Amino acid sequence: MPLDHYVTLGRSGLRVSPLCLGAMTFGQEWGWGSSVQDSARIVDRYLELGGNFIDTANVYTKGHSEQIIGEHFKPSPSRRQRTVIATKFFGTMLHGDPNSGGAGRKALMAACEQSLRRLQTDYIDLYWMHCWDVHTPIEETMRTLDDLVGAGKVRYLGFSDTPAWKVMEAQMIAKFRGWSPLIALQLEYSLLERTIEGELIPLALAHGLGVTPWGPLKAGALSGKYTRANAGTAKANRGAWTTSALTDRAYTVIDVLVKIARDVGSTPARVALSWVQNRPGVASTIIGARTLEQLEDNLAALEVHLLPQQTAQLDEVTAPQLNFPFDFVRNAAGFSSSGTVINGVQAPVNPLAPKSEADRF
**Active-site residue list:** 60
CA distance 321 to 74: 47
Dihedral angle sign, alpha carbons of residues 47, 213, 269, 265:
negative
Which positions ≥6 away from 273 have C-beta within 8 Å?
Answer: 19, 216, 217, 285, 287, 298, 301, 304
Q: Which helix (H) or strand (E) holds 349?
A: none
Q: How far apart are CA 280 and CA 291, in angstroms?
A: 30
Q: Give the count of alpha carbons within 13 A of 358, CB side only.
A: 0
Burial of 189 (0-12, 13-18, 19+ CB in 10 A): buried
- C-alpha to C-alpha distances, 152 to 79, 96, 123, 145, 156, nearest whole angstrom: 19, 31, 7, 11, 10
CA distance 2 to 315: 25
Query: What distance in Å separates the CA atoms of residue 88 and residue 65, rounded to the nearest whole number?
Result: 12
CB-based contact 257:271 (threshold 8 Å) = yes
